Amino acid sequence: MKDLATDRIASFLESLRALAPVVASRREAFDRYRRLPDDVFAALADVGLFRLWLPRTLGGPELSPLDFLEVVEAAAALDGSIGWLVGNGGGMSRAGGYLPPEVARCVFADPRAFVVSATGAVGTLEPAANGWRVSGRWPFGSGAAHATHFMGLAAIGGEPGPDRPAVFCYFPRAQVTVHDTWHVSGLRGSGSSDWEVRDVFVRAEEAHPFLGHAPTDPGLLYRMPPISVFAWTVAVVPLGIARGALDAFASLAGGKIRLGTTTVLRDRETIQAMVGRAEATMRSARAFLAAAMTELMAATDIGGERLVRARASLRLAAAHAAEA
- H or E element in which residue 41 lies: helix 38-46
**What average pLDDT does the segment 119-146 reach?**
96
Q: Cα 309 from chain centroid?
A: 24
CATH 2.40.110.10 assigned to domain 1-210? The reply is yes
| CATH superfamily membership of 224-323 | Butyryl-CoA Dehydrogenase, subunit A, domain 3 (1.20.140.10)
The percent of residues in the chain predicted with pLDDT above 70, rounded, is 99
Is residue 114 very low, low, confident or very high in pLDDT (cuts 50, 70, 90)?
Answer: very high
**What average pLDDT does the segment 205-214 reach?**
94
Question: 230 exposed, middle or buried (CB, 10 Å; 0-12, 13-18, 19+)?
Answer: middle
In Å, the largest CA–CA distance within the chain is 77
The percent of residues in the chain predicted with pLDDT above 90, rounded, is 88
Torsion-angle region of residue 56: left (phi > 0), alpha (psi -120 to 50) or beta? alpha
Torsion sign, CA atoms 160, 101, 216, 224: negative
So what's the pLDDT on residue 256? 85
Q: Is 115 helix (H, G, I), strand (E, B) or coil?
A: strand
Is residue 3 very low, low, confident or very high in pLDDT (cuts 50, 70, 90)?
Answer: low
Per-chain mean pLDDT for the chain: 95
* Residue 53 in this model has a pLDDT that exceeds 60: yes
**What average pLDDT does the segment 156-160 reach?**
90
So what's the pLDDT on residue 2? 60
Q: Are 81 and 36 in contact (CB under 8 A)?
A: yes
**What average pLDDT does the segment 141-168 reach?**
94
Residue boundaries of the structural domains of the chain: 1-210, 224-323
* Residue 323 in this model has a pLDDT that exceeds 70: yes
The DSSP letter of residue 214 is P
How far is the C-alpha of 54 from the C-alpha of 52, rounded, in Å?
Answer: 6
Is residue 11 very low, low, confident or very high in pLDDT (cuts 50, 70, 90)?
Answer: very high
Tell me, yes or no, if the two domains 1-210 and 224-323 fold the same way: no
Q: Are 30 and 189 in contact (CB under 8 A)?
A: yes
Give pLDDT tens digits for 175-201.
Answer: 999 999 999 999 999 999 999 999 999
Give pLDDT tens digits for 222-240.
Answer: 999 999 999 999 999 999 9
* Residue 17 in this model has a pLDDT that exceeds 90: yes
So what's the pLDDT on residue 6? 84
Is residue 163 very low, low, confident or very high in pLDDT (cuts 50, 70, 90)?
Answer: confident
Give pLDDT tens digits for 237-292.
Answer: 999 999 999 999 999 998 888 777 878 988 899 999 999 999 999 999 999 999 99
* Residue 162 in this model has a pLDDT that exceeds 80: yes
So what's the pLDDT on residue 255? 87
* Residue 1 in this model has a pLDDT that exceeds 60: no
